[in-house]
Every structure is written in C-alpha cells, then in structure tokens.
Chain A
Amino acid sequence: MAVAAVKTYEFSPKDSQDKFPAPLLYIGWEDHLLFCAPFCVPLPPPMIFGDMLKGPLAGMFGYHPEFAKVDWDKAEWFKSGKPWKPDYTKSLADNGLKHKDVIRFRTPGLTGIKGSCS
C-alpha cells in the first residue's frame, strides 16, 4: 500500500548505511531482561566475531552477575529469530552480517536473577 498524498510521495530512507560510521548491529541476550531492550551498536565489518564477544559485548552485558559464567561454546545464536551458527574466528562481514541485522544469543542454564529471566 502507499501513503495517501496530494502529490508524489518519495523520500530517501533516514538510516541507510552510508550515513553511519559503520553498519549497525542489534544484539539481544535472551532471558536477561535486566537489560531492558536489545542493544544497537555500529561495528566495523572486519571485526572478528570472537573479539566482539570479548570486547563490545562484555561492555554491554558485563554488569549482569551471570555474564562471567557465559560459556560461548554452548551459546545458541539466532539471526532474525532463526537459529544461526556464527564462526567466532571469522569477521562480522564473513559471518554474513549486514547493516541493521538483528542477532540474539541464548545461554542454556543461565536464566537471570533468581530464575526470573531478569
């Protein structure tokens, strides 16, 4: 469907990749709603996935007492809600991540503060 308008209604998207220093990636940690929402961060495509886990992710999620217990080898990943297996040794780009992709991870056995998914 289209916007009802009195003349041609066409505008460029406000958030195309060329406007950002690096592509945006959205990242959520399942069952840990102490962090109220998934995060949004610009990350350089050559960054190695495993480095992202140790660097940026530790900064984002490190406040949670369970973050130190995360076993990345057991983490289950999802991309746009579908099961997904990233290669930790490869870059974000080589893992197929593009601007405004959304990924989340589940850490079996870790269910948040007092098991409340917080």
Chain B
Amino acid sequence: MSNVFIAFQKNEETRSIIEAILADNPNATVDDQPGMVRIDAPNTMTIKRETVEEVMGRRFNLQELHINLITLTGHIDETDDEFTLSWKH
C-alpha cells in the first residue's frame, strides 16, 4: 500500500480545508513546512465539501481547491461533493 498526499499553501482558507481533511480521514498526517502544509494518508484521502463548509462557515466549491493547491499524488476522482485521491482502480 502506498501513500497519497496533497499540499496546500499555508493560509486562512487552507486552515479550514486541512481541518476538514483531518476530521474525515483519521489516518491522515500533517507535515508543516515553510509556507506550505502537506497531508499524507495511506492509500486514499477524501475532501468533503460539506465538512469544509461546516469548518469554514460559508459555501465552498471544491474547485476552489485549485487556488491554493501546490502538489498532489494519486488518481483523482472529483464530483461536486467529494474530491478523492487514491491508488485504487
């Protein structure tokens, strides 16, 4: 089993996104680096729009992720409600 990861710029918006990821993916770990935050998880990681909205306190379109994204790895599956990275087929 391999890890997937995603990294964001460190700012107000991504603070909420990261909090949401940690709530929905109990196996995820955070690596704080200068200017950026990287989150790793074994095999799969899901970002849920609903959770992000709860933490952020506003409507959130998952495509807003693009603005603060730095890098990622794994196969992507994106819908209006969920953004998933995984090594599954």
Determine whether A and B are in direct contact in the complex, meaning some CB atoms lie less than 8 angstroms apart.
no
Enumerate chain B interface residues (CB-CB to A < 8 A): none
